[in-house]
């Protein structure tokens, strides 16, 4: 996140403090009241309004989330943390021992052995609301639920941090750098290391320089006027006494800070080891994917898990409060995270602190932005296209074999804002063709699109209404029609549900599908070998037209098999001493007359690495080639020899 630190702003560039809102503020238009509350809080605690707005934007994008806590237990537009109230004890999504995160039958699946930390041990960065209550005299309940009070609490924390840094409460923007970077209560940034504190503060100053305007989730219009000359005073960090985080073998862009917390590569006995595999990527095999996960657990819990030498690993973890990044593996090595060995071998895994089944526990802007900066860097370095067929959610990774489909994970789930994420990546989704383009890109308006889900807290119980990236698909163009069935998820043919973890009848923002038919406000796409309908009204569309390449069975073929991994043919293993891996078809068929959006064409590959000694590790590459396709909610693969490729129009 850090930009190169600039010099001190000159006196001529200083911004005056904004005066308190006039006495008639209560009569102001409802959509302007939050802006007035920012002005009043800034004036009361003598904090420059642009600093208060910048910090709030990086935490919440000025949203109040109706008093619901973030994934880090933060409340309101200033993200005042009270994790003891907001969060319950949890088990991270890799901690259950009921999955094979490695996804390769050449080794038995491992079960976690590390003892997870006590969830009641909360660091100071997760208890800032208590300090805000002490400084303002406002009750904790009011700070959690009243946006204006929340802003006052945030302003008080910033002013307190400024005083403790020995700096005046002035209009001098650069003079607030230390207060933004770190306070005693770790309010903003929440960091205890110098690099992360600088990264966070630099990102806040970037927001101030660029400016921002948006309508919040409560319909409040808020604006931060751009101040291009705003520059941080990086020299202030030296007086904060922050630790120097171990950079170790981290690989991150210069604009963000990373800490090296390695996942151990350890042997336990003959042929038994964990928790990742040594490799030599991209020299021996390309890195084609980035997999977005959520942790289903708090930061300290997740770090303990990835340091368990007996179990799983991934490349990066991202913290919610400030976007801090910990790297655990060298990028050349293969993590055990996605549940599909082919995808693991060719991907980088990112774990984001968060909870799929708690829709109101929102993701912070700080984490979205840091993640986007990291992904842009990795994309450029390895030539990974920024689209939904290469930037995968864990929920779009296919099961490698038929039997693994029901075990595959569903994070980051329907509440991850893919549109906002790709906008930060510089690749926002948009209409790219006319109605005859032949494809659609799924694109609901996140804040206004709230499909019903169940099972967030109890099976069958409705989840809170919330913005979502997910769109539901039906067998007919009506909302009371049966949902599309997924025979892989339910081999017995049972119906799909609206459960928050049920992916059998769901598409997601940014995914592309071939159009099968249109009827009024409804659009049909080809999905899991079926015609699937979703509501797509002109007044509030859930998809936009697109064009590209599509896959269809070769002429004369009634159907072709679909695969969850692109493994080479048996002949490719001849002379290697490696037993051929089965090219196992999934229980789906791509039928004649159907079309699916085409992704990359790739040779069949298998990374043989079943033992601790790396001398025998080898990449087997075949002559068979595969196309990746968007087949259902998850991606899949088909043999190039089985299909034809043509423009979608």
Its sign, for the CA torsion 378, 379, 384, 389, is positive
Predicted confidence at residue 576, as pLDDT, reads: 96
| Residue 26 pLDDT greater than 50, yes or no | no
Predicted confidence at residue 541, as pLDDT, reads: 97
- CA atoms of 140 and 386, how far apart (whole Å): 42
Name every residue whose Cβ is closer than 8 Å to that of residue 117 and which is 6 or more positions away in sequence.
300, 301, 304
CA dihedral 581, 336, 364, 385 (to 10 degrees): -40
CA atoms in the 13 A half-sphere facing the CB of 163 = 10
- CA atoms of 379 and 335, how far apart (whole Å): 18
CA distances (Å), origin 246, targets 14, 249, 257, 306, 554: 36, 9, 10, 17, 55
DSSP for 360-429? TSBPPHHHHHHHHHHHHHHHHHHT--SSTTTEEEGGGSPPSSGGGGGG---TT-TTS-HHHHHHHTT---
Predicted confidence at residue 20, as pLDDT, reads: 34
pLDDT tens for each residue of 34-44: 999 999 999 99
The phi and psi torsions of 599 (rounded to 5 degrees) equal: -110, -145
Helix (H) or strand (E) holding 42: helix 33-45
| Residue 119 pLDDT greater than 80, yes or no | no
pLDDT tens for each residue of 508-536: 999 999 999 999 999 999 999 999 999 99
Domains of the chain, residue spans: 11-240, 552-647
As a whole number, the mean pLDDT across the chain is: 88
DSSP for 78-128? TTEE-HHHH------TT-SS-S-SS--TTSPPP---SPPPPTT---GGG-H
| Residue 8 pLDDT greater than 60, yes or no | no
Whether the CB-CB separation of 339 and 101 falls below 8 Å is answered with yes
Q: Which residue has the higher pLDDT, 11 or 453?
A: 453
Mapping DSSP onto H, E and C, the string for 192-260 reads CEHHHHHHHHHHHHHHHHHCEEEECCCCCEEEECCCCCCCCCHHHHHHHCCECCCCCCCCCCCCCCEEE
- pLDDT band of 164, cuts 50, 70, 90: confident
Predicted confidence at residue 104, as pLDDT, reads: 82
pLDDT tens for each residue of 51-77: 999 999 999 999 998 888 887 888 999
Mean pLDDT within 139-149: 96
Mean pLDDT within 429-446: 97
How many other C-beta atoms can be found within 10 angstroms of the C-beta atom of residue 336?
A: 27
Helices (H), 415-545: 418-424
Mean pLDDT within 599-612: 96
Mean pLDDT within 541-545: 98
pLDDT tens for each residue of 201-243: 889 999 999 999 999 989 999 999 999 999 877 777 666 656 6
Structure tokens at 431: 């209409």
pLDDT tens for each residue of 251-292: 999 888 899 999 999 998 777 898 999 999 999 999 999 999
């Amino acid at each position: 996140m850090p930009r190169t630190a600039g010099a001190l702003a000159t006196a001529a560039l200083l911004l005056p403090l904004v005066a308190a809102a006039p006495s008639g503020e209560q009569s102001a238009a409802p959509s302007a009241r939050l802006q007035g509350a920012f002005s009043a809080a800034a004036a009361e605690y003598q904090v420059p309004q642009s600093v208060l707005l910048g910090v709030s934007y990086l935490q919440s994008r000025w949203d109040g989330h109706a008093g619901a806590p973030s994934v880090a237990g933060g409340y309101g537009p200033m993200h005042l943390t009270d994790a003891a109230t907001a969060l319950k004890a949890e088990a991270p999504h890799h901690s259950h021992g009921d999955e094979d995160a490695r996804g390769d039958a050449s080794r038995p699946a491992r079960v976690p052995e590390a003892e997870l930390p006590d969830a009641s041990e909360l660091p100071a960065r997760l208890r800032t609301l208590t300090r805000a209550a002490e400084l303002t005299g406002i009750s904790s309940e009011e700070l959690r639920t009243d946006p204006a009070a929340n802003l006052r609490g945030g302003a008080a924390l910033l002013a307190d941090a400024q005083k403790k840094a020995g700096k005046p409460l002035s209009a001098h923007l650069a003079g607030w750098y230390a207060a933004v970077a770190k306070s005693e209560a770790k309010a903003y940034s929440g960091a205890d290391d110098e690099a992360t504190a600088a990264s966070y503060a630099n990102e806040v100053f970037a927001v101030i320089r660029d400016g921002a305007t948006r309508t919040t989730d409560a319909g409040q219009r808020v604006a931060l006027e751009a101040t291009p000359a705003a520059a941080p005073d990086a020299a202030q960090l030296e007086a904060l006494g922050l630790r120097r985080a171990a950079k170790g073998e981290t690989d991150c862009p210069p604009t963000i800070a990373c800490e090296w917390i390695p996942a151990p590569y350890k042997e336990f006995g003959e042929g038994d080891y964990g928790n990742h595999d040594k490799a030599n990527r991209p020299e021996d095999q390309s890195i084609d994917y980035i997999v977005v996960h959520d942790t289903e657990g708090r930061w300290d819990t997740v770090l303990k898990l990835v340091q368990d030498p007996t179990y799983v690993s991934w490349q990066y973890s991202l913290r919610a409060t400030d976007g801090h990044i910990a790297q655990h593996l060298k990028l050349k090595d293969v993590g055990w995270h996605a549940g599909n060995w082919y995808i693991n071998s060719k991907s980088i895994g990112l774990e984001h602190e968060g909870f799929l089944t708690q829709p109101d526990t929102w993701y912070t802007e700080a984490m979205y932005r840091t993640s986007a900066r990291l992904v842009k860097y990795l994309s450029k370095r390895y030539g990974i296209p920024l689209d939904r067929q290469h930037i995968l959610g864990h929920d779009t990774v296919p099961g490698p074999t038929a039997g693994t489909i029901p075990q595959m994970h569903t994070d980051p789930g329907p509440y991850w804002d893919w549109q906002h994420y790709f906008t930060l990546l510089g690749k926002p989704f948009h209409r790219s063709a006319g109605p005859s383009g032949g494809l659609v890109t799924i694109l609901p308006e996140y804040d206004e699109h709230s499909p019903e889900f169940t099972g967030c807290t109890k099976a069958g119980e409705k989840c809170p209404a919330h913005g979502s990236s997910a769109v539901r698909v039906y067998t007919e163009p009506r909302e009371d029609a049966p949902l599309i069935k997924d025979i892989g998820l339910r081999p017995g043919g049972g119906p799909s549900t609206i459960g928050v973890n049920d992916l059998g009848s769901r598409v997601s923002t940014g995914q592309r599908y071939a159009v099968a038919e249109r009827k009024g406000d409804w659009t049909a796409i080809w999905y899991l070998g079926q015609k699937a309908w979703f509501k797509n009204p002109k007044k509030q569309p859930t998809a936009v037209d697109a064009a590209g390449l599509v896959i269809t069975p070769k002429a004369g073929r009634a159907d072709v098999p679909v695969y969850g991994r692109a493994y080479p043919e048996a002949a490719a293993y001849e002379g290697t001493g490696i037993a051929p891996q089965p090219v196992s078809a999934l229980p789906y068929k791509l039928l004649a007359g159907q079309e699916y959006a085409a992704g990359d064409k790739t040779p069949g590959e298998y990374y043989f690495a079943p033992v601790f000694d790396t001398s025998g590790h080898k990449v087997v590459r075949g002559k068979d080639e595969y196309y990746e396709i968007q087949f259902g909610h998850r991606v899949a693969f088909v043999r190039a020899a089985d299909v034809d490729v043509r423009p979608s129009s």
